[in-house]
Amino acid sequence: MDSSLTSPPHGTSASTTEIVPVRRPRRRRVGAGLVAAAFLLTGCQLPTFGEYKGSTTQARTEYHLWQGFFIAGLVVGVFVLMLITWAIVRYRRKSEEIPPQHQYHTLTEIIYTVVPILIVLVLFVFTVLAENKVTALESNPATSIHVYAFQWGWEFEYPNGVKVIGQTTNDPTMVVPTGETVRIRLDSYDVLHGFYVPEFNFSRYATPGYSTYFDLNVIHNGTYRGQCTQLCGLYHSLMFFNVKSVSPADYATWLRTELALAKAHPSSAPQLPSGVHAGGGTSSNSNAGGLPYGD
């Protein structure tokens, strides 16, 4: 996948030179072949360029797109950088002679207009393909979790009614099954928040009055740190959470245990901080549907 991001131009030039032998095919064929082969062989072993490799399948898609964009940016950036540097070094003033006063060169102008358009179109195609994968919603997710953000914490509500609530002083942990599709429905009780897990290469605003949905397929068991990214007031800096991914069997066990605990000790059930409902737009009982706010 990632190799195809950058190789099409090289790939096509290699194939045309094989069919139609032209005057200087050798260097081009060897060069193009080397580049294509390098990308094919290295595959995912391309450098990460600073980005997380991604702990969900969606994050992997983003990661490969990042690699493609980074290489494209590097090539274009270094090319322009070399042009600027060359101009600075080569054409510094050596005499008081007035240089030729040329202003236009039509062929150059056409090239530097058309080539960027082509580059942009290629990038756009890969962007749309990756975006569709990242935002795709599976028709039958294994589980779905309703996430509510509030000032300044998180509430995770599971299909069987289990709730996990935590704020600034104690970070809540969202438990999810590894290798299965988890549907997240994201809402906010008060202001905008940002649901962001760096290793998932993904963030989404929690907007009051606007539910949003996305899928996560965590690849390996593990605990991943998350944090609010959208400024939400005084303690925005302290709005952490964790995502803990466990095997589906462990997940089912955990859900049952939590439910039993909640039923045995209803008084110790997690509570939202008082005042969370004050400025907001949604109701925590929203699964019932159709409830007006403000009662």
Q: Please report, as residue ranges, which positions from 226 to 245 form the binding site for other proteins (by CB under 8 A).
A: 227-238, 240
- Contact flag: residue 123 with other proteins (CB under 8 A): yes
Q: Which is nearer to other proteins, 120 or 252 (CB)?
A: 120
Taking CB under 8 A as the criterion, the residue among 2, 155, 190, 215 binding other proteins is 190
DSSP 128-172: HHHHHHHH---SS-SEEEEEEEETTEEEEE-TTS-EEEEETTS--
Which of 13-21, 23-31, 80-88, 253-261 is the region at the interface with other proteins (rule: CB under 8 A)? 80-88
* Contact call for residue 127 and other proteins (CB under 8 A): yes
3-state class of 110 per DSSP? helix
Identified binder of other proteins from the candidate list 5, 14, 36, 65, rule CB under 8 A:
65
Residue 5 has which token pair?
Answer: 């991001």
| Nearer to other proteins among residue 17 and residue 227 (C-beta) | 227
Q: Tell me the number of residues near other proteins by CB under 8 A.
A: 101
Which member of 61, 167, 178, 245 binds other proteins (CB under 8 A)? 61
H or E segment and range at residue 220: none
Q: The dihedral of CA 134, 137, 143, 145: what is its sign?
A: positive
| 227 contacts 240 by C-beta, under 8 angstroms | yes
Q: How far is the CB of 279 from other proteins (least distance, A)?
A: 4
By CB under 8 A, tell whether 274 contacts other proteins. Answer: no
For position 36 contacting other proteins by CB under 8 A, the verdict is no
Binding flag, residue 138, other proteins (CB under 8 A): no
Q: Are 202 and 215 in contact (CB under 8 A)?
A: no
155 touching other proteins, by CB under 8 A:
no
Q: Which residues contact 133 (CB under 8 A, 6 or more apart)?
A: 58, 61
Decide if 189 contacts 208 (C-beta within 8 A).
yes
Specify the 3-state DSSP secondary structure of 225.
strand
According to CB under 8 A, which one of 20, 23, 41, 101 is a site residue for other proteins? 101
When the beta carbons of 37 and 119 are compared against other proteins, the nearer one is 119
Shortest CB 222 distance to other proteins, Å: 15
Is 128 a binding residue for other proteins by CB under 8 A? The answer is: yes
Binds other proteins (CB under 8 A): choice among 192, 219, 259, 272: 192
- Residue 33 DSSP one-character state: H
- Amino acid letter at 123? L
Listed ranges 3-11, 13-21, 22-30, 207-215: which one lies at the site for other proteins (CB under 8 A): 207-215
Angle CA(88)–CA(90)–CA(96) in degrees, nearest 5? 90
Does residue 180 interact with other proteins by CB under 8 A? no
Of the candidate residues 138, 159, 210, 252, the single one contacting other proteins (CB under 8 A): 210
| Using rule CB under 8 A, residue 295 touches other proteins | no
Among positions 24, 266, 274, 290, the unique one binding other proteins when judged by CB under 8 A: 290
Would you tell me the crossing angle of helices 25-42 and 8-19 to the nearest 10 degrees?
140
Q: What Cα–Cα distance (Å) separates residue 23 from each residue in 18, 32, 173, 186?
A: 12, 16, 65, 61
